[in-house]
Amino acid sequence: KNIKKKKIEYAGMIKMSKSKNNGVELKQIIKKYGSDTIRLFIIFASPIETELEWKEFQLIGIYRFLKRFWKIIFNHVMSGKTRPLKIKKLTFNQKKNFLIIHKLIYEVNYDIKYRQSFNTAISKIMKFINKLNYLDKNKFNKFILHEYLLILIRLLYPF
């Protein structure tokens, strides 16, 4: 805002810097959202070859996503131990579920290793985790959910 005229002036996208006094106070944001949220936001918000445009609503979205994922994990852990399934006894649908998660592993690995497209890798992981919220926990095998969560945690680990 212009203090004298009290109207908003927009001059396009401007780089953040301390000298222009338009930077983000990182300590306050870390205290409010946590460093994991900020790190994931920075990697997710734009491809590595472009500049990051800081949007707090996207940061809040990442924060909510991480809270939802934590809640899924917490609820699963609190529901008790899982018994491993024998591979020979898996039903067709259970095998199909394992195929889906292994396809995700391949795609995320490809995005990271060959395309170096971290934002798309994170996006794929986020979409998959968001689908877990809509699973019918009564019909979905607890062991498969357990395996999904272990894999998803490992996929998010580099970020």
Q: Where are the domains of the chain?
A: 33-156
For the segment 68-119, what is each residue's pLDDT rounded down to a tens digit?
A: 999 999 988 898 887 777 878 888 888 888 899 999 999 999 999 999 899 9
| Residue 16, CA distances (Å) to 20, 28, 39, 51 in order | 7, 16, 17, 11
pLDDT for res 48: 79
Q: Which two tokens stand for residue 146?
A: 């357990």
pLDDT tens digit sequence for 16-37: 565 665 567 788 889 999 999 9
pLDDT at 92: 87
> What single DSSP character describes residue 115?
I
Helices and strands (H, E) in the chain, number of each type: 6, 0
Burial class (CB in 10 A: 0-12, 13-18, 19+), 115: exposed
Q: Tokens 């936001």 sit at which residue? A: 41
Domain 33-156 CATH class label:
mainly alpha
In whole angstroms, give the CA distance from residue 15 to residue 108: 31
Distances (CA, A) of 79 to 31, 33, 144, 151: 31, 27, 14, 19
Cα–Cα distance for residue pair 47/74, rounded to 1 Å: 31
Contact 24, 16 (CB under 8 A): yes
Tell me the CA end-to-end span of the chain in Å, nearest whole number: 36
